[in-house]
């Protein structure tokens, strides 16, 4: 199971949540623990999280990755994950005196807290499990507001950040299945660039022989030059081709589907 939020070193109780489960939570600046979770948590970023944060900060994805992240291999798949690098004084680098400085573009894992989502691949597809993290210091859990998983996700705008990361999550889970060949150094480098450094991936597409090698024309791929969400979808298709060439659909079909999703408003 992959969980994209980690907070070691604290006593806590995890409650398994179902669709009808209800919890209380209200975090606000008047609480003594306000922002403590931001100072101590370790957040794993999806490609879409990286895109949003880099745009917010006026950085290329490569600059953002270099300044604000570090890399770690996911335990089961062996594929690289990108994590937020703590500031020199400790804690999230985007945390200011008044709270989160990138709040509108905060990552999916931050939006979901105090819930954690763990995902696993089953014969029926990806199945998500939810847990309530009762951190010993969190006073927000004594709040009066009641939530379900669905109402909390809707309130926090979680779906807009969850949908674009699904293909990437599927690949991590798929590669983590028993019997998969461990990725070598070349594959790891390609995966990191294609998944996380979207500006570099865009340059690679249009300045290398990649499109021609896969039977794609410049005219067909041109929308990827400006459509970030289509680029994320197409990068996932390229990663699937990289990891599972015998199972992946042809890239001309993947490109058409990536662009059609934009036209249909499926972002």
Average pLDDT score over residue span 128-132: 93
Give the per-residue pLDDT at 11.
Answer: 47
Asked if the model's pLDDT at residue 170 lies above 50, the reply is yes
CA gap 174, 168 in Å, rounded: 10
Looking at the fold, whether 114 and 242 belong to one and the same domain comes out as no
Looking at the fold, whether 100 and 33 belong to one and the same domain comes out as yes
User: Worst-scoring range by mean pLDDT, 14-23, 37-46, 244-253?
Assistant: 14-23
Looking at the fold, whether 217 and 90 belong to one and the same domain comes out as no
Looking at the fold, whether 248 and 116 belong to one and the same domain comes out as no
pLDDT tens profile 68-105: 999 999 999 999 999 999 988 888 999 998 899 999 99
- The whole-chain average pLDDT of the chain stands at 91
Looking at the fold, whether 150 and 221 belong to one and the same domain comes out as no
Give the per-residue pLDDT at 8.
Answer: 45
pLDDT tens profile 51-71: 999 999 999 999 999 999 999
Looking at the fold, whether 48 and 126 belong to one and the same domain comes out as yes
Asked if the model's pLDDT at residue 266 lies above 60, the reply is no
Task: Quote the number of domains for the chain.
Answer: 2
Looking at the fold, whether 24 and 82 belong to one and the same domain comes out as yes
**Parent domain of 215:** 197-263
CA gap 253, 181 in Å, rounded: 26
CB distance 138 to 41 below 8 Å: no
Q: What is the percent of the chain where pLDDT is above 70?
A: 93
């Amino acid at each position: 199971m992959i969980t994209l939020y980690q907070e070691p070193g604290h006593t806590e109780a995890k409650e398994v949540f179902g669709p009808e489960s209800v919890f209380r939570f209200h975090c606000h600046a008047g609480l003594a623990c306000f922002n403590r979770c931001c100072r101590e948590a370790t957040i794993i970023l999806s490609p879409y999280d990286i895109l949003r944060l880099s745009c917010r900060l006026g950085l290329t994805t490569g600059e953002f990755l270099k300044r604000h992240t570090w890399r770690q291999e996911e335990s089961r798949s062996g594929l690289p994950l990108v994590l937020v690098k703590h500031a020199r004084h400790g804690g999230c680098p985007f945390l200011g005196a008044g709270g989160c400085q990138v709040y509108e573009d905060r990552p999916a894992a931050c939006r979901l807290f105090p819930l954690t989502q763990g995902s696993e691949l089953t014969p029926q597809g990806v199945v998500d499990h939810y847990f309530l993290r009762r951190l010993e210091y969190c006073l927000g859990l004594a709040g009066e507001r009641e939530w379900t998983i669905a109402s909390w996700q809707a309130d926090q705008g979680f779906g807009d950040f969850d949908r674009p990361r699904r293909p990437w999550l599927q690949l991590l889970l798929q590669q983590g299945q028993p019997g998969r060949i461990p990725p070598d150094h070349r594959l790891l480098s390609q995966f990191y660039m294609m998944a996380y450094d979207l500006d570099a991936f865009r340059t690679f597409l249009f300045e290398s022989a990649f499109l021609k090698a896969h039977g794609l024309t410049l005219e067909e791929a041109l929308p990827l030059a400006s459509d970030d969400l289509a680029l994320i979808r197409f990068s996932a298709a390229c990663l699937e081709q990289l990891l599972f060439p015998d199972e992946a659909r042809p890239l001309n079909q993947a490109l058409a589907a990536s662009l059609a999703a934009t036209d249909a408003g499926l972002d």
